[in-house]
Amino acid sequence: AYEIVSRDWSSDVCSSDLDIRIADIGIPCEVLNAIAPRLAHNTPGLWSLPRPDWRDHKYARGSVVVVGGGVMTGAARLAGCAARRIGAGLLTYAVPPAAAGTYAVAEAGALIARVKTPAELARLLGDARHTVVLIGPGLGRGTAAVAKVRKVLAGSQAVVLDADALS
């Protein structure tokens, strides 16, 4: 177990003292070695914002799939909105059928994929035009959530794991 506390940059970004804590959350070392996570100090120098051209096709600008939950929908919808604002050419929410209406009104122009099972999610992600998948916000916990996370990780897309996908 470990914990790192840092204060060296907080005065640059925040008017009050802020402790940043990086702590062991129980992920076994062999898992970390297998997935080779990277850590970087988030500064504008790391940001590579797309510069769209008027001739770009939506898939040339990236296709983001947000796998959201059916009850707690806010974070997934905000993430989808952020993806569009940063320049994603296409946004697809992969959500339980009962929540499709909530997501449909969240972001004009977003596609809604009604996904009930991990197999349906795998079929959606079989389309190589989808370049990034975010899974976790509002997903819930349990065997169905774990199965969806595994399907996403088995795909070829870049993956962002967040919230329930990490638990």
The 10s digit of each residue's pLDDT in 80-91 is: 999 998 889 999
DSSP secondary structure code for residue 125 in this structure: H
Location of structure tokens 């996904």: 115
Q: What pLDDT, on a 0 to 100 scale, did the predictor assign at position 67?
A: 97
Whether 17 contacts 10, CB under 8 Å: yes
Instruction: Give pTM, 2 decimals.
Output: 0.74
Whether 136 contacts 66, CB under 8 Å: no
**Closest alpha carbon to 20 in 47, 53, 42:** 42
Q: What pLDDT, on a 0 to 100 scale, did the predictor assign at position 17?
A: 54
Q: What pLDDT, on a 0 to 100 scale, did the predictor assign at position 15?
A: 46
- 10 membership: H or E segment, kind and range: helix 10-13
Q: What pLDDT, on a 0 to 100 scale, did the predictor assign at position 20?
A: 63
Counting as low any pLDDT under 50, the low residues of the chain are 1, 9-11, 13-15
Q: What pLDDT, on a 0 to 100 scale, did the predictor assign at position 5?
A: 54
